[in-house]
Chains A and B, each alone.
Chain A
Amino acid sequence: MPHRTFFWFILPTALAMILFIGLPIVSSFFQSLHIENEQVLMEVENCDPFGCTTNVRVDVEATEKIEAENPLGRFNGFGTYIDRNHLAFDEIREAWDNTSTVGEFKDIVLNLPFYKALLFTLTFCFAVTPPVIVLGFIVALSVNTLAKKLKGFIVFGTILPMIVTPLIGSLVLFWMIDSQGIIGASIQILFDDPNLSLKASSNLTWITLIIYGIWHNTPFAFVVFYAALQTVPQDPLEAAFIDGASRFERVRFIVIPHLYPVATFIMLICLMDNFRVFEPIIGFSAEGVAQSLSWMIYQDLRNENKMLFGSAGATSMLTILGIAFLLTPVLIRTWKEFKTER
């Protein structure tokens, strides 16, 4: 394709991407370099049903004046990025100097909010993605062998977990694993422990979230694999059949190599999706024991009475960097495959 044609071909997409992806990212980045203006406090007398007291309040007029002069707030450079609620350089340096064993150092670092969230996010990512690919493939293979009449029905049933909104799906499960819910009560009977609660221990909560993640993501892998299975050439399969290859061998040596690029694609999307895990944490009320990077952004923007834009912006930037870092190996691999196919 000549460069000129390519340029006109890609222009609308590129414009839309700059407008809806590029500019918001630049604006978040800009925001993350600033913190709020200084608050001017003053003493006032407050009277309420419980009596009158002297109290401090924000001098709204004076603060507004500063705000008008400096609408973006104070420039803080990368200060927000390295403060305790993000990369926490000072705390880590201090921990490094003051600890003697790796275990102690690890405990201190993983107690810092950002690293705590990063640990859960990565665990979730790497615990969910491989089972999703394997399960999705197995389900696709099984559904593919069904009789035509049944297929439509079964396919619909199989993709249900993906159709249910994540928040609703996790809420439904949350009530089912309650000690009085059907799953929670069954587990208690099974392990003969009336105090066993999936919500109480952090390990069990993590496992619950991961199982939920697999349940929710498998249909996506299934749909893609199922579509790709329809493109597997029939001739080599038949030839292998005549040569006496078993079903396993046919799958192993013909189907899997054919679906390899598709698996890479699914892995890419799954890693990206799972890196921004968020809804199940809210649905399972798991904020206490499992925080993700996306949850931290939500916390800055929603759980505070006042929105911490700078902090949320910094976490967003770090999340984008994290995803880029995570996807690089997969992207390099795709690029190489693309090159060799030429």
Chain B
Amino acid sequence: MKKLIISLLISFASTSVFAGSHSPCGVTSGSINILANEFTTYRIFMDEVKSCAGPDADFNVTHSVDHNKLQVAALSANPAEFSAKLVTNGSITPLMNDGLIRPLDDLVAKYGSNLNDNQKITIDGKIYAVAFMANAQHLWYRESILNDLGIAVPSTYEEVIAAAEKIKAAGVMENPYAGAFKSGWNLGQEFVNMYLGHGGEFFKSGSAQPNVNNEKGVAALNMIKKLTELSNPDFLTQDTNAVKEEWESGNVALMHVWNSGAASLLDDEGDQNIKADTRLAPSPTVGGGDKPATTLWWDGIAIATNTSDENAEASFRALVGAASSTDLANNNPNATVWLIKGYTPGDTAGPVVDAASRGTTPYPSFPHMSLMHGALSTELVEFLQGNESAEKALADVEAAYIAKATEQGFL
């Protein structure tokens, strides 16, 4: 935690110098083929990767919101479909489970002299990924609407609900709150946030046995239910990108979405009045807890095991060139919280730094966490529609998880 704060607070004045080591950019041999998630910050990052690769490089990138579902199959093939993958602390575990990404120590030694130490993701002593940004979901609000109604910026979810109810009662907006509740990964993630905010643990300690059907789980679900009642009735079909559209249409006054959303919410497109009125706030706590109900994420680069050394080196050079580009970070200070050396945090970095400094839990990286997330994705819908109790929904989650984890050999 401290490392992040220190690296964010200390602004390095010196420009980048590749001290005596190989310059990563200007790739001439080998082909680069990257799989990545789809959002504005990644587009900005990929532009830099492409320019680092240079005009002679064989460069391809596939942006897909389904990257999590594609990655294992795509990298299991030999040779792999992609030479590199942008990973997060969530998506790296399935790749690690199957040994699909390679250790990067020699490549980092050769081309990574300009990386911060905290960018190197080490697992069991080996570097498996190089992080370039930190991300977290946090609160966004419309300042003028809160001011007009005399509402203070909420710091707990209980206050968020009170504020949203007040906005609704005043007739300003029909559905003042928004979150990415789309059934599937997004809905699972909302539960992960809320459950960790209540101080929950997903597994019984030291085992892969599930542990969500308890008081904290029920409290987390009830809180999500209250929030969805103040959201657009179509909430089960809205992912992060749809929520951002709602925001830009002026239908929402409070939302809990990714910090990296600033790249598209605060750009020059769309209604500039809404943009000028948009404010970022730390993620709220819930149920009297002291940690914000959110998770910390890093996004980084990883190289496929099943690709030739030549392609691996080419891909790493282009990616690490961008991941250590001070210019990239400082030309787009508000696109995200960069972990790159020499970055001066922009106005929007606050909530992520706040989350880190208040001891927010990073997204759990257990090998079986993705199965738990998958079970949460599908089994919570009926509760939110009012068709079953919270206890039943959580019992279903545990039963679905146990069936899958048994099949996968974790139980």
Chain A interface (Cβ within 8 Å of chain B)?
Answer: 35-39, 41, 44-51, 55-58, 60, 64, 73-74, 80, 83-85, 91, 111, 113, 178-179, 194-195, 197, 199-202, 285, 287-289, 299, 302-308, 310-311
Instruction: Check if A49 sits within 8 Å of B367, measured CB to CB.
Output: no
- Other A-B pairs beyond A36-B409, A58-B96, A306-B98, 19, CB < 8 Å: A36-B408, A41-B367, A45-B123, A47-B123, A48-B89, A48-B121, A49-B3, A49-B4, A58-B97, A58-B98, A74-B409, A84-B402, A201-B385, A202-B385, A302-B69, A305-B371, A306-B94, A308-B404, A311-B403
Instruction: Check if A44 sits within 8 Å of B356, measured CB to CB.
Output: no
A288-B97 contact given A45-B124, A308-B407, CB 8 Å threshold: no
Instruction: Check if A51 sits within 8 Å of B399, measured CB to CB.
Output: no
Contacts of A38 in B (CB 8 A): 409
Report how far A200 CA is from B182 CA in the complex, Å: 12
**In the assembled complex, how far is the CB of residue B164 from the closest CB belonging to chain A, in whole angstroms?**
16
Contacts of B69 in A (CB 8 A): 302-305
Q: Mark B174-203, 1 if CB is under 8 A from A, else 0.
A: 100000001110000000000000000000
Residue of B nearest to A309 (CB): B407
Contacts of A60 in B (CB 8 A): 96-99
- The 20 listed contacts between A and B (C-beta, < 8 Å) are A45-B122, A46-B123, A47-B123, A49-B118, A50-B296, A56-B367, A57-B96, A57-B123, A58-B98, A113-B378, A195-B174, A201-B385, A202-B387, A288-B237, A299-B378, A302-B66, A302-B69, A304-B374, A305-B374, A306-B98
Report how far A41 CA is from B367 CA in the complex, Å: 9
**In the assembled complex, how far is the CB of residue B371 from the closest CB belonging to chain A, in whole angstroms?**
7
Instruction: Check if B407 sits within 8 Å of A35, measured CB to CB.
Output: yes
A50-B183 contact given A195-B233, A303-B374, CB 8 Å threshold: no
Q: Please list the 10 inter-chain residue pairs (A to B) with the smallest Cβ-Cβ separation, ordered nearest first.
A: A288-B183, A305-B94, A200-B233, A60-B99, A44-B124, A305-B370, A288-B381, A285-B237, A36-B409, A58-B97
Instruction: Check if A289 sits within 8 Å of B91, measured CB to CB.
Output: no
**In the assembled complex, how far is the CB of residue B236 from the closest CB belonging to chain A, in whole angstroms?**
4
Instruction: Check if A48 sits within 8 Å of B298, measured CB to CB.
Output: yes
Report how far A331 CA is from B367 CA in the complex, Å: 49
**In the assembled complex, how far is the CB of residue A52 from the closest CB belonging to chain B, in whole angstroms?**
8
Residue of B nearest to A195 (CB): B233
Q: Mark B53-97, 1 if CB is under 8 A from A, else 0.
A: 000000000000010110111000000000000000101011011
Instruction: Check if B234 sits within 8 Å of A197, measured CB to CB.
Output: yes
Report how far A74 CA is from B408 CA in the complex, Å: 10
Chain B, range 355-391, C-beta contacts under 8 Å to A: 356, 362, 365-367, 370-371, 374, 377-378, 381-382, 385, 387-388
Instruction: Check if A287 sits within 8 Å of B183, measured CB to CB.
Output: yes
**Which of B237, B296, B392, B400 has its CB near the most chain A CB atoms (within 10 A)?**
B237
Instruction: Check if A47 sits within 8 Å of B73, measured CB to CB.
Output: no
**Which of B89, B119, B121, B378 has its CB near the most chain A CB atoms (within 10 A)?**
B378
**In the assembled complex, how far is the CB of residue B177 from the closest CB belonging to chain A, in whole angstroms?**
15
Instruction: Check if B400 sits within 8 Å of A84, measured CB to CB.
Output: yes
**In the assembled complex, how far is the CB of residue B188 from the closest CB belonging to chain A, in whole angstroms?**
10
Contacts of A51 in B (CB 8 A): 1-3
**In the assembled complex, how far is the CB of residue A238 from the closest CB belonging to chain B, in whole angstroms?**
56
**In the assembled complex, how far is the CB of residue B160 from the closest CB belonging to chain A, in whole angstroms?**
21
Report how far A59 CA is from B123 CA in the complex, Å: 12
Contacts of B73 in A (CB 8 A): 307
**In the assembled complex, how far is the CB of residue B131 from the closest CB belonging to chain A, in whole angstroms?**
6
**In the assembled complex, how far is the CB of residue A48 from the closest CB belonging to chain B, in whole angstroms?**
5
Instruction: Check if B370 sits within 8 Å of A84, measured CB to CB.
Output: no
Instruction: Check if B409 sits within 8 Å of A85, measured CB to CB.
Output: no
Report how far A38 CA is from B96 CA in the complex, Å: 16
Instruction: Check if A50 sits within 8 Å of B1, measured CB to CB.
Output: yes
- How many B residues have CB within 8 A of the partner chain? 70
Pick the contact of B237: A35, A45, A91, A199 (CB < 8 A): A199
**Which of B71, B93, B374, B408 has its CB near the most chain A CB atoms (within 10 A)?**
B408
Contacts of A201 in B (CB 8 A): 385
Instruction: Check if B339 sits within 8 Å of A49, measured CB to CB.
Output: yes
Contacts of B7 in A (CB 8 A): 49
B18 within 8 A of A: no
Instruction: Check if A303 sits within 8 Å of B377, measured CB to CB.
Output: yes
**In the assembled complex, how far is the CB of residue B5 from the closest CB belonging to chain A, in whole angstroms?**
10
**Which of A36, A37, A45, A50 has its CB near the most chain B CB atoms (within 10 A)?**
A50
B165 within 8 A of A: no
Contacts of A299 in B (CB 8 A): 378
Residue of A nearest to B182 (CB): A285
Residue of B nearest to A179 (CB): B234
Contacts of A289 in B (CB 8 A): 236, 381, 385
B125 within 8 A of A: yes
Pick the contact of A84: B98, B119, B385, B399 (CB < 8 A): B399
Contacts of A310 in B (CB 8 A): 407
Report how far A303 CA is from B382 CA in the complex, Å: 19
Contacts of A58 in B (CB 8 A): 96-98, 367
B252 within 8 A of A: no
Instruction: Check if A35 sits within 8 Å of B99, measured CB to CB.
Output: no
Residue of A nearest to B121 (CB): A48
Instruction: Check if B119 sits within 8 Å of A49, measured CB to CB.
Output: yes
Residue of A nearest to B363 (CB): A50
Instruction: Check if A305 sits within 8 Å of B72, measured CB to CB.
Output: yes
Instruction: Check if A111 sits within 8 Å of B183, measured CB to CB.
Output: no
Report how far A304 CA is from B408 CA in the complex, Å: 11
A306-B385 contact given A58-B367, A113-B400, CB 8 Å threshold: no
B406 within 8 A of A: yes
Report how far A74 CA is from B407 CA in the complex, Å: 9
B12 within 8 A of A: no
Pick the contact of B403: A41, A46, A74, A83 (CB < 8 A): A83
Residue of A nearest to B242 (CB): A285
Contacts of A194 in B (CB 8 A): 174
Residue of B nearest to A37 (CB): B409
B143 within 8 A of A: no
**In the assembled complex, how far is the CB of residue A113 from the closest CB belonging to chain B, in whole angstroms?**
7
B134 within 8 A of A: yes
Contacts of A302 in B (CB 8 A): 66, 69
**In the assembled complex, how far is the CB of residue B124 from the closest CB belonging to chain A, in whole angstroms?**
4
